[in-house]
Amino acid sequence: MTESAGSVFVTAMTAAYDFDPHEYALIVSAASTLDEIEAMEAALAESGPVSKGSTGQDRVNPLIPALANHRLTLLRILRQLGVENEAPVSADQRQRSAKAQHAAQVRWGVQSGTA
């Protein structure tokens, strides 16, 4: 059985940093949030982005806004710890981030006249 995202996160963070007890409590909270995100993403992958409402109408799967809230919660916890850049991200997210950084650098170069 593979480890959950939360347990991997706790292991990585406690290996890299020394935390005070109150900070460790935030690490545990972040781990729990990661596990919840992982479970919601799996459920969303299974059920899809559209669900049926009470009268049979199509509507956005309620997991989508719940995931957004959990991701914001995770970011807030990581900011409290000062480790928001340590959050686990997928390869797809890293690729998008690298492309966005490159685009920003190109824009900056053009705007400053150095490109």
pLDDT of residue 8: 94
Q: What distance lies between CA 34 and its chain's CA centroid?
A: 8
Q: In a structure prediction context, what are the per-residue pLDDT tens digits for the chain, which is 115 residues long?
A: 689 999 999 999 999 988 999 999 999 999 999 999 999 999 999 999 999 999 999 999 999 999 999 999 999 999 999 887 765 555 555 555 566 666 656 656 644 444 4
Two tokens at 54?
């009470």
Q: What distance lies between CA 2 and its chain's CA centroid?
A: 19
Taking residue 63's Cβ as centre, other Cβ atoms within 10 Å add up to: 21
Q: What amino acid is encoded at 99 in this protein?
A: K
| Residue 83 backbone zone (phi > 0: left; psi -120 to 50: alpha; other: beta) | alpha
pLDDT of residue 2: 82
| 49, 64 contact by CB (below 8 A) | yes
Task: Quote the pTM value.
Answer: 0.70
pLDDT of residue 112: 46
Residue 52, classed as helix, strand or coil, is: strand
pLDDT of residue 97: 56
